[in-house]
């Protein structure tokens, strides 16, 4: 069974500039975050997936077909583009209805439902030109959802949204993922992706840098030492015991314990209790301090 | 239904007040020129001046007015970043192309008819002959149909669509189809004019604008259909194979 979205050996160049280089990646149901700094090729990848741009080489298949060759599949694909442009003279309702009717949806209830979903019912009669950036983003999300698509592509969808709107939109995206839709969300704001996505695809300089969960990506980076925070009542004695042991790169004091850099995290986890007992130290907490998405991403970008 | 919505959308986006007014004014320039040039002349001279001015000047003004409209149909959407909303519709690309053209063509015809009305009014008021201008109306409409079909793919394919369109108007239509008789029939304005010349016996100065193209409403209409089909085929190809953004 093929995956809902499959990108195979895709490259895209504009003259001499390579925007996406030999990317092969698949996307399953659920929310997948596409992560990368500005200029990494995220938007180009999403445009290639939606058929807005043609691959210079390689192939894209969405729900088993190439959208360029079979535009009928667009009844199951929606995009929230990065550009904040909308039709300023249309009201929010007209805009959503335009997208609905272009997708072949004629029921007014579909428009009402998505306007309700993005909390724009009260403002549905206002022109989009009068909307704030965050409201325009929500209008675009409503327009994307009105056709009840199976694949939803969101390019920086939280741009301009205030914290309350962001939380609301993130909840919508998570619900879509939980209901079996394939949701692709690009962002350069790591904390947002961390809240939304179970799966990650990291892009750097147009190439696929990594894919998987945050944990699996971090675990795959075996050449990088792991930073572990150890809370203890006797940090000095414990530090003295750990320094110099095989697999320990460095030990630094932290406010309530130690920051231990180790190249052998599993081995360290096994031996730490015995070392603590040996120096009479009580350990209250052991947590990896560099498994956040930001750390993973910093490693990925830094390794290029 | 979906196609109708796209036609309405394209029509609505292009038929904006100020743009529509400005382009209609441009399209009415030949009528105004004929009106002014004919004032003080005898009635028969007025009618002849009308025929000559419409035959020689309208090609340029109409083509530029429709170029601005036709090129904007997709170029404005691309530049504004709103094209994805249209492009990601489950409409076969040839129907997408057809619907876009129908929407833009409707506005182009409005502009052309508006321009023609000014000339008709001027001639009618000046000469009292309210029937003389009617045969030029099909030529105006034909030009709007042909040029809108040509300039929509130009707007989609070229970021400097107006420049490319002006090159087409002045180099291809203005010079090459006049100098090279073998390609004269590809000129939209000459085709439109051949319809006018078939419906009205034109003075010699006006017929010069036709070049080697023979008057003929039926042949002109058939050529126009050919221009539209080829242009829509190119637009469909572009939608399928070229980047939309």
pLDDT digits over B143-184, tens only? 999 999 999 999 999 999 999 999 999 999 888 988 888 888
Exposure pattern of A1-19 as b/e (b: 16+ CB <10 Å)? eebbbbbeebbbeeeeebb
List A32's β-bridge partners, or say none: A184, A199
What mean pLDDT do residues B221-229 have? 93
DSSP B100-137: HHHHHHHHHHHHHHHHHHHHHHHHHHHHS-SSTTTTHH
Encode pLDDT of A90-142 as tens digits: 999 999 999 999 999 888 899 999 999 999 999 999 999 999 988 999 999 99
Mutate to test the interface with B, among A15, A45, A71 (most CBs of B within 10 A): A71
Which position has the higher pLDDT, A144 or B39? Answer: A144
Whether A50 and B85 lie within 8 Å, measured CB to CB = no
User: A10 to chain B: which residues are within 8 Å by CB?
Assistant: none
Most confident of B35-49, B98-112, B214-228: B98-112
The CA–CA distances, whole Å, from B136 to A34, A110, B193, B245 equal 59, 49, 8, 40
What local confidence, expressed as pLDDT, does residue A46 receive? 95
* CA B42 to the chain's CA centroid: 31
Q: Which pTM value belongs to this model?
A: 0.84
Which one, of B147, B148, B138, lies nearest residue B116 by Cα?
Answer: B138
List A258's β-bridge partners, or say none: A230, A253
Q: Which A residues 61-90 touch B at CB under 8 Å? A: 68-69, 71-75, 77-79, 81, 83-87
Mutate to test the interface with A, among B17, B75, B85 (most CBs of A within 10 A): B85
Does the pLDDT at position B138 exceed 70?
yes
- Assess: ipTM above 0.90: no
d(CA B80, CA B64): 22
User: A129 to chain B: which residues are within 8 Å by CB?
Assistant: none
Does the pLDDT at position B125 exceed 80?
yes
Q: Which A residues 284-303 touch B at CB under 8 Å? A: none
Q: Give chain A's mean pLDDT.
A: 88
Measured between CA atoms, the residue of chain A closest to residue B6 is A102
* Torsion (CA) A271, A276, A282, A286 in degrees, nearest 10: -30
* Percentage of chain A modeled with pLDDT above 70: 93
Whether B86 and A81 lie within 8 Å, measured CB to CB = no
> How many Å lie between the alpha carbon of A223 and the closest alpha carbon of chain B?
40
What local confidence, expressed as pLDDT, does residue B211 receive? 79
* Percentage of chain A modeled with pLDDT above 90: 56
What local confidence, expressed as pLDDT, does residue B104 receive? 96
d(CA A204, CA B69): 41
Does the pLDDT at position A269 exceed 90?
no
Whether B88 and A69 lie within 8 Å, measured CB to CB = no
Whether B82 and A77 lie within 8 Å, measured CB to CB = no
Does the pLDDT at position B207 exceed 90?
no
Does the pLDDT at position B6 exceed 70?
yes
Whether A99 and B85 lie within 8 Å, measured CB to CB = yes
Whether residue A129 lies within 8 A of chain B, CB to CB, comes out as no
Query: Any idea what DSSP says for residue B184?
Result: G
Encode pLDDT of A270-292 as tens digits: 889 999 999 999 998 888 776 66
Whether residue A17 lies within 8 A of chain B, CB to CB, comes out as no
């Amino acid at each position: 069974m093929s995956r809902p979205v499959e990108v195979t050996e895709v490259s895209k160049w504009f003259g001499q500039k390579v925007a996406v280089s030999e990317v092969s990646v698949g996307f399953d149901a659920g929310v997948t975050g596409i992560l990368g700094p500005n200029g990494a090729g995220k938007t180009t990848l999403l445009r290639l997936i939606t058929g807005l741009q043609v691959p210079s080489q390689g192939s894209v298949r969405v729900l088993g077909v190439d959208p360029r060759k079979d535009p009928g599949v667009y009844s199951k694909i929606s995009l929230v583009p990065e550009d904040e442009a909308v039709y300023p003279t249309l009201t929010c309702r007209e805009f959503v209805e335009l997208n609905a009717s272009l997708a072949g949806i004629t029921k007014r209830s579909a428009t009402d439902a998505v306007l309700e979903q993005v909390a724009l019912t009260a403002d549905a009669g206002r022109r989009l030109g009068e909307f704030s950036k965050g409201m325009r983003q929500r209008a675009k999300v409503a327009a994307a959802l009105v056709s009840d698509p199976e694949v939803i592509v969101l390019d920086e969808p939280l741009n301009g949204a205030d914290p309350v709107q962001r939380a609301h939109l993130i909840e919508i995206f998570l619900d879509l993922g939980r209901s079996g839709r394939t949701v692709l969300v690009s962002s350069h704001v790591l904390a947002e992706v961390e809240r939304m996505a179970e799966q990650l695809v990291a892009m750097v300089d147009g190439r696929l840098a990594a894919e998987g969960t945050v944990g699996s990506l971090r675990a795959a980076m075996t050449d990088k030492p792991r930073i572990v925070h150890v809370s203890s009542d006797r940090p000095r004695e414990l530090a003295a015991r750990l320094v110099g042991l095989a697999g320990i790169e460095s030990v630094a004091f932290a406010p309530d314990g130690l920051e231990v850099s180790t190249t052998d995290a599993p081995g360290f986890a096994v031996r730490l209790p015995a070392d603590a007992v040996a120096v009479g130290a009580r350990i209250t907490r052991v947590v990896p301090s560099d498994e956040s998405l930001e750390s993973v991403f910093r490693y990925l970008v830094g390794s290029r | 239904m979906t196609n109708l919505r796209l036609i309405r959308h394209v029509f609505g986006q292009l038929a904006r007040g100020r743009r529509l007014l400005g382009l209609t004014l441009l399209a009415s320039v030949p009528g105004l020129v004929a009106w002014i040039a004919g004032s003080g002349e005898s009635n028969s001279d007025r009618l002849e001046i009308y025929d000559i001015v419409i035959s020689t000047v309208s090609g340029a003004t109409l083509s530029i007015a429709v170029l601005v409209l036709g090129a904007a149909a997709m170029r404005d959407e691309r530049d504004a970043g709103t094209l994805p909303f249209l492009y990601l519709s489950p409409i076969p690309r040839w129907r997408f192309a057809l619907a876009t053209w129908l929407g833009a063509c409707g506005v182009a015809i409005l502009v052309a008819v508006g321009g023609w009305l000014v000339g008709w009014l001027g001639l009618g008021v000046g000469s009292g002959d309210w029937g003389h201008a009617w045969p030029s109306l099909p030529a105006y409409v034909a030009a709007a149909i042909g040029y809108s079909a040509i300039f929509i793919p130009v707007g989609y394919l070229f970021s400097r669509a107006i420049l490319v369109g002006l090159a087409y108007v002045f180099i291809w239509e203005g010079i090459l189809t006049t100098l090279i008789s073998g390609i004269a029939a590809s000129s939209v304005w000459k085709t439109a004019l051949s319809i006018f010349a078939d419906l009205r016996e034109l003075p010699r100065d006006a017929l010069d604008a036709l070049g080697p193209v023979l008057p003929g409403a039926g042949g002109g209409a058939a050529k126009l259909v050919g221009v539209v089909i080829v242009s829509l085929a190119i637009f469909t190809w572009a939608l399928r194979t070229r980047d939309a953004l």
